[in-house]
A and B are shown apart, each in its own frame.
Chain A
C-alpha cells in the first residue's frame, strides 16, 4: 500500500491543470445562460481583459432565450460582430456572429433557430472563407451542436426530415458536460492557460463578468451589447494607425486566405440550399461581403494564386440574381472606397465605420 501512495505525487499536477484551466479559460462556461439572459434583459455584459469567452455557448443561449419573433438576425464570423440594432434600424435584432464561425457552426445556428421555432423576417449573412474554404468550413468546435447542424441539413435536403427527439437533446446536454470535463483536464488547454495566466492580473483572474446598462459607455474591456453585438476594449480600439498598418504588412495572409484553393462545390450547394429554403419562407436576405484593407487587397492582387475572394464575390452575385438577395460590400476595398484607417486590424472593419459604409437596413 505504501508503494501505491507514492503515486499520489501526481495529484498536484491534476489539480493544478484542472484549476488553472477552469479559472483562466472555462469559468464562464458554467455561466453562459445568465450571460445570455442578462443580454436578453437589455443589459451589456463585460469581461475582464484577455479572458476566454464562451462565444458559442452564449450565442446558443441567446437563440434559446430570445423572443420567438424577431425582425432581423445576423449570422457569420467576427467580421459582422459590430453590426448593431441601430444600423439595422430595429429593436428586434440579434447579432449571432461568432469568431471564426465555420459553415458547420452556422448551419447549427440555423438548425437551432428552426428547432426553437424562432422566426425572423430578415437575415444578414456574411459570406467569407470560413464558409467556402474546406480548410475551415467543416470544423465545429462544440460537437454538442452537431445535432442541430444535421437537423438543418435535413430541412434543406430533398428527403423527408425526422424531427429532433428528446433523446438527442438529452444526448446534447450530456455531451456538453462531457466536453466541459475534458476541457478542464486538457493538457493542450493548460498550455494556453499558462500563457494567458502570465498576462492576467489577480483581479482579472478572480473577477466575474460584469452586467451594466447599455447607456454606460465607460467600460474599458471587451463587452457584449444587449443585441449580441461586440465592442472591443478601449486599448484595442485606440491602437495607432502606424501600429495597425505595420500589423497589416506583417499579416500572415495565407492563414486566412488559402492560396491555390477554389471555392468548395459542396459548400456552395449547401449555402444555396439554405438561401432557397429561407427565401421560400419569405425571409429577406442580405449577403455581406466584408472588404479587406487596401494593403491586404494589394497583396492578394499582386501575388498569384488567391482565387477565393473573387469566386466568393462571384457566387454572391449569382445568389443575388437568382434569389433576389441584396449584396452589401465587396472583398475589394476599392469598390467601396474604404481605407486602411477604417480597420482595427488586418481583417476587421471598425464598428463605427460598418454603419457608415454599409446599409444594413431592410425596407
Chain B
C-alpha cells in the first residue's frame, strides 16, 4: 500500500516543494500530483487509469454544466449522468461478484470475466461525483465551469483510495485563498499522520493476529474465544480504517485542506443506530442525503405511509415507509461494499435486521441517562455500549469468515459451544496461545491498548474530557516529543502482516 511506503514521503516532499512555492497555481499543481499519485498506485495499468480519469472528469464536468444551465431536461440529464458514472463502477468493481452471487443463489451458470481490470478507489470518487451532480440539480451549488476544479474534487489524492467521500461545497471553498506552509499546521498534520501510522502498524496489525488465527481454526475454540476474536477484529477494523483516515487527514492538514470526519468514537455508541451514525460517517451521510431522503419523498412511499397509518395506526404506520426505505438503503450499502455474498449479509442484511429490531424495541425502553450519579450512568452506558458492540460484531463474523456458510457455522458454534470447560487447563491455554501465534509482545500490546482505551473512555464519559483533543492542542514542542515516542513504538511494536488497508478493497 503506497501510503505505507517510503515512496509516499518522497511523493509528499516533491508535492510540498511545488505546492508551497508556486502559490499562484496551487490547485493545478495539486490536481497534477493527484493524478500522478493515482497513476503511481496502479503503475502497470497507467494508461487505463488516465482513461478513467478523463472519462469521469468529462462526464462530471459536462453534465454539471448542462444540468446547471438546462431546466427542461434536468431530470433526464441527471439520470443519464448517474448511469454513466455508475456504469464503470458496476462493470469494473461489482459485476463479477454479482454474477458469482447470482450463480450461488439461483444455481445459474453465468460466466465471469477474469480479465476485468480492477480500478482502485472508484467506489469512493464515483459517489463524490454523483453527489456533486445531484447538488447542482437541486440548485444547492452552481456548476463549476473550471474542469480542473472538478477534476481536483473527484481525484484529490488523499481521499482517492479510502475516502472520506467529499461534498463539493465544503471542499471547493477551501481553495479561495492560497495556502502557506505553516509551522503549526505542519506539526499538527505530522502528529496526526504519526498517530495514524501507529494505529495501523501497531494496533490494527497486532489485534489482527488473534482474530485471524482463531477464525482460521475456529473448530478448536469455544464460543467465548471466538467472541473475543471478533472483538479483536472490531478493534483491528477500526484502527485500520481510522488510522488511514488520520494519515490522509494529516497530509491534508499540512496542505491546508480540512477533510470531513469519518469516525466519531463509534465504540462509544449506546445503540445500533448511533453506531452507524458514528462509523464511516461520510458514506452514511451520502446515502442518507442522496438515497434515503429522496426515496422517502417519492410518491409511492408517501402513499404507502398514508395507507399503513390508516391500517396500523400512527405509531406503527409511520415506521413502515421508513423500513421500506431502509431496505433499499442497506441493499445499496451492501452492494457498495463489493457485492459479494458475505458483504451483502455483513454490510446490508444484518445491519438492516438489527436496526429494525432495535427500532421496534425502542418503543419499550429508554436509552437516555436515568441516574443522577454519573458513575452509575457511566456503568449503565458501558453495558449498553458492550451490548451494541456485540450486536454489531454479528456483521463482522461474516466479514472475518469471508463466507456466509462459514459465518453461520461460527455463529452456531458461539451459541452451542460457548464455554468448553476442558479448555481451562494451563497447558491447553498455553498451546492455544502458541497455536494462534499470540506472542508476549502481541499480548502486552493488546492489553496496553485496551488500558489506554479504557482511560480515554473514563475521561470522556465521566469527566467529559477528550484526552486526544487535549493532546492535539498542547505546545508544538511536546507534540514533537510525542511524535518521536510514536516512531519508537512503531519501530519496535510494528508487525507488517498484510501491508494493506482493509477499506482499500472497496
Contacts and interface: CB of A to CB of B under 8 A. Distances in A.
B6 A13 contact: no
A3 B183 contact: yes
A22 to B, nearest CB: 15
B55 interface: no
Nearest to B6: A182
Contact of B484 (A3, A13, A187, A190): A13
A191 B6 contact: no
Interface string B455-485: 0000000000000000000001100100110
Contacts of B419: none
A192 to B, nearest CB: 10
A194 B183 CA distance: 33
B491 interface: yes
A185 interface: yes
Nearest to A255: B437
Given A13-B484, A13-B487, A185-B6, A6 B477 contact: yes
A181 B491 contact: no
A3 B184 CA distance: 9
Interface in A260-313: none
Given A191-B492, A191-B494, A181 B480 contact: no
A190 B480 contact: no
B491 A9 contact: no
Given A6-B477, A6-B480, A7-B480, A191 B491 contact: yes
Nearest to B435: A254
A162 interface: no
Interface string B487-501: 100111010100000
B484 A182 contact: no
Nearest to A195: B492
B318 to A, nearest CB: 52
A186 B477 contact: no
Nearest to A146: B44
Which size class do B's interface residues fall under? 10 to 19
Contacts of A185: 6
Interface in B1-46: 5-7
Contact of A188 (B187, B477, B484, B494): B494
Contact of A190 (B7, B183, B187, B491): B491
Q: Which of A185, A188, A190 has the most CB of B within 10 A?
A: A188
B491 A187 contact: yes
Contact of A187 (B477, B480, B490): B490
A182 B5 contact: yes
Contacts of A3: 183, 476
Interface string A1-44: 00110110110010000000000000000000000000000000
Contacts of B187: 7
B381 to A, nearest CB: 39
A13 B5 CA distance: 17
A10 B193 CA distance: 15
Q: Which of B6, B480, B483, B487 has the most CB of A within 10 A?
A: B6
Contacts of B490: 187
Contacts of B483: 10
A55 to B, nearest CB: 21
A4 B183 contact: yes
A143 B492 CA distance: 26
Contacts of B476: 3, 6
Nearest to B434: A252
A39 B302 CA distance: 83
A188 B6 contact: no
A178 B6 CA distance: 10
Contacts of A6: 476-477, 480
A186 B6 contact: yes
A203 B187 CA distance: 41
A188 B487 CA distance: 11
Contacts of B183: 3-4
Contacts of A190: 491
A7 B496 CA distance: 28
Contacts of B492: 191, 194
A170 B94 CA distance: 38
A194 B494 CA distance: 14
A130 B260 CA distance: 46
Contacts of B5: 182
Contact of B496 (A4, A178, A188): A188
18 contacts: A4-B183, A6-B476, A6-B480, A7-B480, A9-B480, A9-B484, A10-B483, A185-B6, A186-B6, A187-B487, A187-B491, A187-B494, A188-B496, A190-B491, A191-B491, A191-B492, A191-B494, A194-B491
Interface of B: 5-7, 183, 187, 476-477, 480, 483-484, 487, 490-492, 494, 496
Given A10-B484, A194-B491, 16 more contacts: A3-B476, A4-B183, A6-B480, A7-B187, A7-B480, A9-B480, A9-B484, A10-B483, A13-B484, A178-B7, A182-B5, A182-B7, A187-B490, A187-B491, A188-B496, A190-B491
When A and B form their complex, which 10 residue pairs have the shortest distance between CB atoms, in order from nearest? A3-B183, A182-B6, A187-B491, A185-B6, A191-B491, A188-B496, A190-B491, A9-B480, A4-B183, A187-B490
